[in-house]
């Protein structure tokens, strides 16, 4: 056997224990760029494949923020304005995010073949455990808009132990009635799928104004290469079952909930009704002025501030500094219709004059905030 010889190898770059500051900065920058871009995954479920994108790294003893978008959108077009907002960065640093795209809604998704049976909203909710199992996440805080809010609510009803909180924007928990179906069919005779979806997303005032935002989203939906897929998601939303929520009943959301709707949104009445069916000690109702049908797009600053209050009420980010809502002079507080006796409202989204504190609402009232 040849005699072993000792060979010295000179490193061109030091290894991690002896890294220079410059190399460490380069590695940190590369890692940050990777996290900012997100990591996209797909997982097979009993109802087909689902794609999701993960940003950040899991934090010990903290749930993931999991988002689910509305019809006609994907996670980027629905949530990018919110999560790229400057004040949201404090939240991003404290939580890992999972952005779910409904099947066929992700960028570059192929069009489903003719006759493809798209999952129901209940089945979309049943895909979420496969995502959490794949990522080895045990708990989430859900943020959903429209159809996505329904999906997350359905998931929370069947898996309450894994949901620490819900932010539900434009939630409609009710199945379509006969009058709704008749109106939907009549509209379908005179309007295209893209126009019907735009009417679902935005108020008539917004559509009539034809602002730059409306033009942008009209173009996104009208020229979407996967418009046939979007129509399937739209049909599933219109065929949703009633969540059968009942205040004080067996079927209810057992986690803290923040309901959000714009004061001109097409879903305002549905969100108000949903508020009346939930536990008022666990529910905050935020009605946002001048936000139209998509508050996360038009008022990301105010929604971010409200989200921070919500997280603080759950025991997270206690040292976070509040400024925007607490300094708003246009905000008004009105009580909702329900009174359930003396109780503390520590999670109420209310504000004091200029102090930036979060006072409790008066006993017996669910507070509605217009800001």
Residue 33: is its pLDDT beyond 90? no
Position 8 scores a pLDDT of 44
pLDDT per position as a tens digit, 257-314: 999 999 889 999 999 999 999 999 999 999 998 899 999 999 999 999 999 999 999 9
Q: What pTM value is reported for the model?
A: 0.79
- Tell me the CA distances in angstroms from 227 to 112, 186, 193, 195, 297, one per residue in order: 10, 21, 9, 12, 22
- What dihedral angle (degrees, nearest 10) is formed by the CA atoms of 86, 50, 295, 357? -60
Domains of the chain plus CATH, in order, are 33-175+229-314 (3.40.50.1820)
User: Please, which pLDDT band fits residue 248 given cuts at 50, 70 and 90?
Assistant: confident
- As a whole number of angstroms, the distance between CA 253 and CA 19 comes to 50
Position 264 scores a pLDDT of 84
- Least confident range from 144-148, 181-185, 222-226, 365-369: namely 365-369
Q: Is residue 369 classed as helix, strand or coil in its secondary structure?
A: strand
What phi and psi values does residue 25 have, to the nearest 5 degrees? -65, -40
- As a whole number of angstroms, the distance between CA 324 and CA 303 comes to 10
Query: 214 is written with which tokens?
Result: 């409306």
Query: 236 is written with which tokens?
Result: 């599933």
Residue 117: is its pLDDT beyond 80? yes
Residue 86: HSE in the Cβ half-sphere, 13 Å Cα cutoff: 1
């Amino acid at each position: 056997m040849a005699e072993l010889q000792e060979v010295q190898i000179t490193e061109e770059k030091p290894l991690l224990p002896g890294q220079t500051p410059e190399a460490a900065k380069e590695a940190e920058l590369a890692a940050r760029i990777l996290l900012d871009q997100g990591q996209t995954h797909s997982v097979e479920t009993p109802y087909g494949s689902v794609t999701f994108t993960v940003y950040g790294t899991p934090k010990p003893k903290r749930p993931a923020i999991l988002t689910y978008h509305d019809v006609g959108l994907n996670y980027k077009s629905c949530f990018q304005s919110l999560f790229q907002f400057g004040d949201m960065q404090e939240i991003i640093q404290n939580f890992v995010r999972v952005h779910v795209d409904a099947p066929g809604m992700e960028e570059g998704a192929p069009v489903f073949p003719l006759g493809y049976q798209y999952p129901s909203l209940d089945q979309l909710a049943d895909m979420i455990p496969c995502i959490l199992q794949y990522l080895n996440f045990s708990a989430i805080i859900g943020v959903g808009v429209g159809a996505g809010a329904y999906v997350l609510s359905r998931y929370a009803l069947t898996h309450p132990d894994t949901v620490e909180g819900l932010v539900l924007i434009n939630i409609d928990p009710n199945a379509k009635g006969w009058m709704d179906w008749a109106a939907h069919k009549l509209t379908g005779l005179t309007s295209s799928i893209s126009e019907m979806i735009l009417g679902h997303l935005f108020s008539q005032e917004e559509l009539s104004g034809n602002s730059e935002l409306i033009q942008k989203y009209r173009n996104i939906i009208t020229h979407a290469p996967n418009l046939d897929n979007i129509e399937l998601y739209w049909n599933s939303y219109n065929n949703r079952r009633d969540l059968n929520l009942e205040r004080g009943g067996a079927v209810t959301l057992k986690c803290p909930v923040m309901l959000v709707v714009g004061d001109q949104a097409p879903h305002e009445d549905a969100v108000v009704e949903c508020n009346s069916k939930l536990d008022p000690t666990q529910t905050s109702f935020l009605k946002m002025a001048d936000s139209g049908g998509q508050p996360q797009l038009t008022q990301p600053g105010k929604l971010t501030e409200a989200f921070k209050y919500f997280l603080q009420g759950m025991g997270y980010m206690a040292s976070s500094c509040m400024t925007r809502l607490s300094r708003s002079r246009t905000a008004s507080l009105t009580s909702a219709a329900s009174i359930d006796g003396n109780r503390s409202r520590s999670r109420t989204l209310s504000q004091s004059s200029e102090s930036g504190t979060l006072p409790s609402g008066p006993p017996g009232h669910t507070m509605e905030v217009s800001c």
